[in-house]
Structure 1
Amino acid sequence: MIEIDPQHLAHRYMAQWTVPGAAERRAAIEQLWSEDATHILQPPAEIREIAAELGFGHTTLEAQGYDAIETRVARSYERFVETGGFTFRARADAVRLHGVVKFSWETVSTETGDAVGGGLEILLLDDDGRIKADYMFPGA
């Protein structure tokens, strides 16, 4: 596996969620992710509660491949950055253990600069240092 600075990767990863242009966003995704990568999200508590009320014992949201990941990143950008007044940033706690990178991130109000949320990210890397699986835990 190639050498990867985990903090640099964390910053690049968080930056993709704030890219306004579709072409630049797609380029960032193709640089960061392997072609068949999977983004796996633990939904927010309110979604898990609704699912439990409907009889689902667990919920997992997944996007696989460039197109699905691009849709996921674009929708997040539209909701939180473009119209929501937020941005995202990695905390300075990224660590790497073999092919795994773990770091925390923050949702930041663009009006005040205050962190108003965040989560935990666990990235599994391929031999080229690109993301092959991304486990996102908002609120963690």
Structure 2
Amino acid sequence: MDKVQQLADRYVAVWNETDDERRRQAIADLWAPEGEHYVGTQEVRGYAALEKRIVDSHTKWVRNGGYRFRAAKDIRALHDVVTFHWEMVPRNGENIAAIGLEFLVVDKENRILTDYQFPL
């Protein structure tokens, strides 16, 4: 289960990443080349679209909003599906401002094929 928790921790870290090159590399490490991400009405596919989605979120919530994301320690895995909750907290605090559920479909190398994000 440690390997799966590491996936969740790496996943939320990419949303907090401030360095463009490290973020780009983390996206390539986490997702398959044609990986998909769905949240609300947004649908993105592939590294360039994933990068834009993550940068937009980072700009709004991390850079300008003063928040950071972290993975809750409730990760579960079954075959090719991984689920966990994420929390958005103030950069220098612990009060939870928002939570969400991630539902990931992964390949045999634990790279994300499909990412369904459900803000709660």
TM-score interval (norm. to shorter): over 0.9
Q: What percentage of residue pairs aligned between the two structures are identical?
A: 40
* Residue from 74, 98, 106 that aligns with 2:87: 106
The Cα shift of 1:113 comes to 2.3
The Cα shift of 1:109 comes to 1.1
Q: Any gaps of 5 or more consecutive residues in structure 1?
A: 43-59
Distance in structure 2 (CA, Å) of the matches to 1:130 and 1:4: 16
Asked if structure 2 preserves the Cα contact closer than 8 Å seen for 1:4 and 1:129, the reply is no
Q: What is the one-letter code of the residue matched to 1:66? A: Y
Q: Secondary structure at the match of 1:17?
A: helix
Asked if structure 2 preserves the Cα contact closer than 8 Å seen for 1:38 and 1:133, the reply is yes
Distance in structure 2 (CA, Å) of the matches to 1:4 and 1:127: 16
Distance in structure 2 (CA, Å) of the matches to 1:123 and 1:92: 16
Larger radius of gyration: 1
Off by >3 Å, runs of 4+ in structure 1: none
Change (3 A) 1:133 1:4: farther
Q: Any gaps of 5 or more consecutive residues in structure 2?
A: none
TM-score, scaled to structure 1: 0.82
Q: Secondary structure at the match of 1:30?
A: helix
Distance in structure 1 (CA, Å) of the matches to 2:28 and 2:2: 17
Deviations 1:55-107 (CA, angstroms, capped at 9, x unpaired): xxxxx311100000000011111110011010000000001000000000101
Aligned to 1:28: 26
**Larger RCO (CA within 8 A; separation ≥ 6):** 1
Distance in structure 2 (CA, Å) of the matches to 1:111 and 1:124: 32
Distance in structure 2 (CA, Å) of the matches to 1:97 and 1:111: 34
TM-score, scaled to structure 2: 0.95
Distance in structure 1 (CA, Å) of the matches to 2:22 and 2:93: 27
Distance in structure 1 (CA, Å) of the matches to 2:77 and 2:22: 27
Greater strand percent: which structure? Answer: 2
